[in-house]
A and B are shown apart, each in its own frame.
Chain A
Amino acid sequence: MKALKSLFLFILLVLAHSGNLLAQGEAEMADQFRADGKIYVVVTVIAIVFAGLAIWLFRLDRRIRNMENEHKD
C-alpha cells in the first residue's frame, strides 16, 4: 500500500508540474483540436478501454487463483 500511496503522490506531482511548456516553434501541432476540447473525448475513450481491459484481467486473475486453491488439497 505504501508503494501505491507514493505512486498517487507522484502522479499529483506531475500534474502540478505540467503546463510549463508553452508554444515555442512553428511546427504544426494539434492546437486546434485541443482548443476545441475534443482531445478529451479521445482520452476518455482510451481510458475507458484500458480500464475495461484491466478489470477483465483482474477477474481472470481471480478465477485462476480460485482454481489454484481448489487444486491445492
Chain B
Amino acid sequence: MHAGWKIAGVLLVGYSLVWGMLGPVPRLFVLNETIRNLYYHVTMWFGMMAMMAVSLYYSIRSLSKNRLYDDFYAEHYAQAGILLGMLGIVTGSIWARFTWGGWWVNDPKLNGAAITLLIYFAYLILRGSLDEEQKRARVSAVYNIFAFVLLIVFLMVYPRLNKVDSLHPGNGGNPAFSAYDLNSAMRWVFYPAVIGWILIGAWLAQLGARIKMLHHRRMMKKLQA
C-alpha cells in the first residue's frame, strides 16, 4: 500500500499527541508540566531540519539531472520546513515566556533559529524574483546549498560553542538531553513524534509539489495547443 507511510505518520503523531499528554514525565521545578513541550515544540525543529535536508537533496538532484520537477520538490520541502520552523519559533516563544520569563530572550539558539528562517525566506523571495523557470531552478538550487550550510552553522554549531551560554539544554557544550534527564519513558514518545512529524511534513511538501507539477503540465499543454 503506497499510502502506508502517510498512515504511519498520522498514527505516530496521533500517538505522541495523546500519550505526550497522558504519559509519565519527570517532575522538575520551573518546567513542571511544560516539559511535555519537548514532544510538541522540539519535534518541530527536528522536522524542519529534515525538510531542509530533503530540500537540499532535491536541489542537488535538480542541478545534476536538470529536471524541473526536482526543483518543485526542493521548493515545497523548503516551504514545509519553513512552516515547521515558524511553528517552532512561535511555540518556543510561548514556552520561554512561562519558564524563562520572556517572549524572546537573547539566546544563541533563538537568534540562530531566527536567522535561519530569514535565510529560507530569502530563498522563497529569490525564487519569486526569477521568471524563467530553468534559470530559477539553477540559481535557487545553488542558493539552497548555501542556505543549508548556514542552517548547520546557525542551528547546530553556533549554539553549541562553549563560548556562548544558552538557556537551552544541550548547548554550551552539553550533550543534548542531559539537562532534561530524558528518561526512557519520554524517549518512547519523543522519537516516534519526530518520525511522525517528518512523515507528515514530507506529505505536505509532496502535496504542494504535485499540485505544482499538475499546474505545470497544464501550462505546457496550453502552450502546445
Contacts and interface: CB of A to CB of B under 8 A. Distances in A.
Interface string B176-195: 00000001010011001000
Contacts of A39: 21-22
A60 B207 contact: yes
Contacts of A29: 27, 32-33
Nearest to A43: B21
26 contacts: A3-B4, A4-B4, A4-B11, A7-B11, A14-B15, A18-B19, A18-B23, A18-B24, A18-B185, A19-B24, A20-B24, A20-B185, A24-B27, A25-B28, A28-B32, A29-B33, A43-B18, A43-B21, A46-B17, A50-B10, A51-B14, A58-B6, A60-B207, A61-B3, A61-B203, A68-B214
Contacts of A15: 19
B9 to A, nearest CB: 9
B135 interface: no
A60 B32 CA distance: 39
Looking at chain B, what size class is its interface with the partner chain?
A: 35 or more
Interface of A: 1, 3-4, 7, 10-11, 14-15, 17-21, 23-30, 39-40, 42-43, 46-47, 50-51, 54, 57-58, 60-61, 64, 67-68, 71
Listed from nearest, the 3 A-B pairs whose CB atoms lie closest are: A21-B24, A27-B27, A25-B27
Given A4-B8, A46-B21, A71-B217, 7 more contacts: A7-B12, A10-B192, A18-B23, A19-B24, A21-B24, A27-B32, A39-B21
Nearest to A27: B27
A7 B106 CA distance: 41
B185 to A, nearest CB: 6
B6 A61 contact: yes
Q: Is the interface of B mostly helix, strand, loop or mixed?
A: helix
A58 B10 CA distance: 10
Contact of A30 (B18, B33, B211): B33
Contact of B22 (A1, A20, A43, A64): A43
Interface string B116-140: 0000000000000000000000000
A23 B27 contact: yes
Contacts of B17: 43, 46-47, 50
